[in-house]
Chain A
Amino acid sequence: MFSQLGSISKKAAMLAVPFGLATVGNKAYAQESGDVPAIFNLALTLEYLEAEFYMKALESPVLGSSGKAREIYEQISQHEDAHVEFLKAALGDAAVDKPTFDFTAGGNFDPFMQNSTTTMDSAYAQLLALAQAFEDTGVRAYKGQAANLIGQGGLLTAALQIHSVEARHASEIRRLRGLEGWITGNQRGAGMPAATQPVYDGEQNVEQGGINVTTLGSGSPFSMDSSTQAYDEPMDGETASTIAGLFIVS
């Protein structure tokens, strides 16, 4: 698979600025079919974000020293670190640098309890809500790029193999938070800040390949709930970048 990386490196010179609040609206991050550096750099940016988030979560006092939540975060952190290394290796010289992140999103959150006015309970709730938002975004963002990787052989397969891991993460974080592992309609779920709704907009879709799945039969498998839960929806690169951009300083 890495023998294909030569062609990625050649495109390095054409890479534009990294993501960030300053680049919202900049077409530099628009991913087109076959543009592997742009596609993988979108993925890498999301992985940098997740890796740093989980690392900081584990360094903070919020998860305690042991227990279920800590162990889940440790396993996810292991994976996100591995994803960063995998994508950096795949991209070689074309890899974007890690952005500077601000997980307070400009003071709106305090998941690591850095502010003395934030209670442990409040920080914990935010930590889990942000994790859910990041994982559900990751699933949709990778899915949004899958079709652009058609014909890319092992690189497509690798992207699919990361995508499904993010879905495992999303499922468990949601269940840790007391929700179902799958998304119903466009519901962000109890305890999720309104600011996370963009992560879930579009998930209410029931048209799959031109077929309204609620019409395929009767009974609970074809209810709106089941029909929306059974399929996750893609998210385009621009939306994914905008969401990530909320947490990027530069």
Chain B
Amino acid sequence: MRKKKSIDAGAQIAARNRRNFLKVSGLALAGSGLLLASCDNDDDGMKQMGGVFDLGTGDTGVLNYAFALEQLEAAFYTNVLDGSYWASANAEEKAVLEDLYNHEVNHRDWFKAAIDAIVTDSSKRLPSNLEFDFSGVDFSSRDSVLATAKALEDTGVGAYNGAGIYIQTPAYLTLAGKIVSVEARHAAAIRSLINPDGDFKAFAGNDIVTVDTGLDVAYTPSEVFERAGAFIVTPFTYNNPGA
């Protein structure tokens, strides 16, 4: 076990260096996990060391991308509902966070089913067991939980809005639309929970909705991974969303 830890440390440094390289080179990388440079380059994606799963392109890429983000949110809210802040939160906050958990779990499982049905090559389906790291979140703290929820929901909105252009099938654009508006409802609710007696405009504040145009955020995958990547351990890339 001790030996494995020292390998982990070295690989983490290598992973960070590689991530920085990939950022500089314009490629989108998520996941701070082990990126071992010296293993066989097999085609089994995540199951082999050295092969990093790419989300793909077009419809497949967007479905996998959304699945990754819904896995992240579902895992986060699972932790929230297991935490001591939620256990003793006021009725409104308990109800909202439980609803968010319910919705994200539903979304996550829907994407898995949809991907299984739509992505016929199973090696191109994002695995359903992504690993996350929430050690930076204090689930006993209202401030920590709500701030993280806000970041994840706003990032989710930005991710869906930014990914619309990569969808090739009109029906999938409609489906993505059905979900992004719910994420936006979530984001507004969390923002207003954080500011109950203070900033009544925070639900759709000038920090997230551009003043001149009234437009919400729309992020590139790289921007999404900058915001959410710290939580994602399992590495994957999204190098060519629009190809």
Residues of A participating in the B interface, judged by any CB pair closer than 8 Å: 33, 68, 71-72, 74-76, 78-83, 85-86, 139, 142-143, 146-150, 153, 156-158, 160-172, 175, 180-182, 208-211, 213, 216-217, 220-223, 226-227, 229-234
Contacts and interface: CB of A to CB of B under 8 A. Distances in A.
Interface string B84-123: 0000000000011011011101110110011001000000
B12 interface: no
Interface stretch (B45-53, B169-177, B229-237): B169-177
Contact of A221 (B106, B162, B189): B106
A227 to B, nearest CB: 6
Nearest to B187: A168
B175 A209 contact: yes
B117 A181 contact: no
Interface centre among B179, B180, B211 (most CB of A within 10 A): B180
Contacts of A33: 170
Given A160-B216, A168-B188, A210-B117, 19 more contacts: A33-B170, A76-B204, A85-B213, A146-B174, A147-B171, A157-B218, A161-B161, A164-B181, A164-B184, A164-B216, A167-B182, A171-B188, A172-B188, A209-B171, A216-B113, A220-B102, A230-B103, A231-B182, A232-B185
Interface centre among A142, A157, A171, A231 (most CB of B within 10 A): A171
B239 interface: no
Nearest to A47: B214
Given A160-B164, A172-B203, A234 B177 contact: yes
A33 B169 CA distance: 12
B24 interface: no
B21 interface: no
Interface string B200-243: 11011100011111111110000000000000000000000000
Where chain A touches its partner, the secondary structure class is helix
Nearest to B92: A175
Contacts of B165: 153, 156-157
Contact of B157 (A149, A153, A164, A221): A164
A139 B161 contact: no
Contacts of A221: 101-103, 105-106, 109
A182 B102 CA distance: 12
A164 B171 contact: no
A167 B185 contact: yes
A165 B203 contact: no
8 contacts: A75-B205, A162-B216, A175-B192, A180-B96, A181-B96, A221-B101, A222-B109, A226-B106
Contacts of A172: 188-189, 192, 203-204
Interface string B143-157: 000000000000001
B223 to A, nearest CB: 13
Contacts of B216: 160-162, 164-165, 168
B184 A208 contact: no
Contacts of B217: 161
A105 to B, nearest CB: 26
A180 B99 contact: yes
B185 A146 contact: no
Given A146-B164, A167-B185, A71 B171 contact: no
A167 B200 contact: no
Contact of A234 (B96, B178, B211): B178
A79 to B, nearest CB: 4
A138 to B, nearest CB: 10
A208 B179 CA distance: 10
A157 B187 CA distance: 19
B215 A161 contact: yes
B86 to A, nearest CB: 14
B19 interface: no
A230 B101 CA distance: 10
Given A164-B216, A175-B189, A209-B114, A182 B177 contact: no
B125 interface: no
Contacts of B96: 180-181
A143 to B, nearest CB: 4
Contacts of B171: 147, 209
B169 to A, nearest CB: 8
A180 B48 CA distance: 45
B181 A143 contact: yes
A157 B164 contact: yes
A122 to B, nearest CB: 23
A165 B173 contact: no
